[in-house]
Amino acid sequence: AKVPRLHGHGCPKVGFVGWRGMVGSVLMQRMEAEGDFDGRFNAHFFSTSGAGKPGPTICKGDARTETGPLGDATNVDALMAMDVIVTCQGGDYTTELHPKLRHLGWSGYWIDAASTLRMTDNAVIVLDPVNKNLIDKALADGVKDFIGGNCTVSLMLMGLGGLFKKGWVEWISTMTYQAASGAGAKNMRELVKQMRAIGNVPDKLVDDDTSILELDSIVSKMLVEPGKLPTAEFGTALAGSLIPWIDKPMPNGQTKEEWKGGVEANKILGAGSLIPIDGQCVRIGAMRCHSQAVTIKLKHDVPLDEIAKAIAEHNEWVRFVPNNKPDTLAQLTPAAVTGSLTIPVGRLRKMTLGPEYLTAFTVGDQLLWGAAEPLRRQLIIVLEHMRRT
């Protein structure tokens, strides 16, 4: 049977750019799962390389629906016709197209996964379970640029938002354990290739009767000798190792990923006074999901049960994990969280440093709450605002 064309005359026109990449694909998956292509807007799909080719079919109700030929994502006139543009195309695209559109007077809503505009004065970093009040105020004030936040920042705020809402946090140090997927699809593939190379040692070496030192020696050499493992993407071995450096260096010794932790979190929170947030960001050999070990200095001593209650009740996606080994292994790992919107927080305890010092561990899927989900929800918020006004 012929697939019907998507209709939506009179509906807002929403343009999607970068919808085939990693974040964009997850965004489309989530929108279909939530029934977002329900006729409240007219979807237009653009491409930087495949203009004119057939666009995707999308799930509308129980049927797959054609979306027509792909538009040219660099055609300013076509983009100007959109009421909303949702882009996961990356920072270079934003840098090139966003100023052109604004200079030409385009007054539509720009919803973006890239970091380019996050810290500009006229943009809001969106994470509505945490800062819906700021988003609503920005819409009322005529703000048109809404940007997804850094993945680890968003995941940390989703997990610990209850503590910030209570005003208990004096400062936070967060040590991240970030998955290969945070660096991109090519990096994920390289990690698997590295794993495969390491796992290709002779079977006799993994036999319990063989000297472990021989196996250790062979694997250790593979990790450091040039040409033993593919390293074109990471620059070094990640499988069987880790990389304590993510993104560009900053003048103060931080990496840019570490710098984002403080500046972006404070902007999302709209904190009246700066909350110091700093730490070290580390790439680990997980495929998907970022983890964080946090040290929190509270402004005053708060009973642990009250802290757990504030965390658990902040939003419907956070899950408090009791501080015991079985629950930790079952719920507080990247493997347990991959593909889920759940944000578990566990290993919660007071530190021996003093009653105002708290430690916890949290995990989240950075392709969902760390990237695609805030954009999806922001589109719905914008469409509802347009409907009301």
Active-site amino acid positions: 151, 290
164 closest CA partner among 296, 305, 24 = 296
Query: In angstroms, rounded to a whole number, what is the distance separating the alpha carbons of residues 19 and 341?
Result: 20
For CA atoms 15, 21, 27, 29, the dihedral sign is positive
- Which region, left, alpha or beta, applies to residue 122 given φ > 0 means left and ψ of -120 to 50 means alpha? alpha
Cα–Cα distances in Å, from 207 out to 161, 200, 210, 211, 215?
48, 14, 6, 9, 10
Task: Encode burial over 229-242: b for 16+ CB neighbours within 10 A, e otherwise.
Answer: bbbebbeebbbebe
Q: Residue 343 forms beta bridges with which residues?
A: 318
Cα–Cα distances in Å, from 15 out to 46, 50, 117, 385?
7, 15, 19, 17
Cα–Cα distances in Å, from 254 out to 27, 131, 280?
31, 26, 8
Q: Would you call 97 exposed, middle or buried from its count of C-beta atoms within 10 A (0-12, 13-18, 19+)?
A: buried
Residue 86: what residue type? V
Residue with tokens 């290969």: 180
Asked if 369 and 341 touch (Cβ cutoff 8 Å), the reply is yes
Query: In angstroms, rounded to a whole number, what is the distance separating the alpha carbons of residues 157 and 364?
Result: 11
Query: In angstroms, rounded to a whole number, what is the distance separating the alpha carbons of residues 196 and 201?
Result: 9
